[in-house]
Amino acid sequence: MDAQETTVDINGMKAAVPHFESAHSQIHTQYQLMYEHAAQLPSVWSTDESGGQAEFTTALHGWLENCETVQNALKSVIEKLNATIGGYERAHASGAEASSQVKQSVGAPLPGF
């Protein structure tokens, strides 16, 4: 079996987190505003015999559901990215510690190395 190599840029992942958090925050704010408007709409919209109100309300609730799906997906990306960063940092720290221990146990370098 061929060995697989993975290259990871932990700093790049760390730099991406605030962008995902910002997007999540902005979408959450817009969701809250639209949710409030949707709640107020029935009290200010007069009866509509052509069915426009019902169609609009259905579309608005569909938008809210889709927006919530995006919010949840972004939250999941943020959580998984943070967990991945932590995993790579722990692996890197463990590897560096093991390397240091081997270096200390070997003592003086071998001739020619």
Number of other residues whose CB lies within 10 A of the CB of residue 74? 19
> Could you give the CA distance from residue 98 to residue 104 in angstroms, rounded to a whole number?
10
The two tokens of residue 94 are: 């463990």
Among the ranges given (17-26, 57-66, 86-95, 103-112), the one the predictor scored with the smallest mean pLDDT: 103-112
Q: Which of residues 26 and 58 earns the better pLDDT score?
A: 26
Q: Is pLDDT at 85 greater than 90 in this prediction?
A: yes
Q: Is pLDDT at 92 greater than 80 in this prediction?
A: no
Q: Which of residues 12 and 53 earns the better pLDDT score?
A: 12
User: How much is the average pLDDT of 68-74?
Assistant: 97
Q: Which of residues 68 and 42 earns the better pLDDT score?
A: 68
> Could you give the CA distance from residue 76 to residue 1 in angstroms, rounded to a whole number?
33
> Could you give the CA distance from residue 33 to residue 40 in angstroms, rounded to a whole number?
11
Contacts of 35 (CB under 8 A, 6+ apart): 64
Q: Name the E strands within the chain.
A: none
pLDDT of residue 7: 82
User: How much is the average pLDDT of 81-95?
Assistant: 86
> Could you give the CA distance from residue 33 to residue 31 in angstroms, rounded to a whole number?
5
In which band, very low, low, confident or very high, does the pLDDT at 91 lie, cut at 50, 70 and 90?
confident
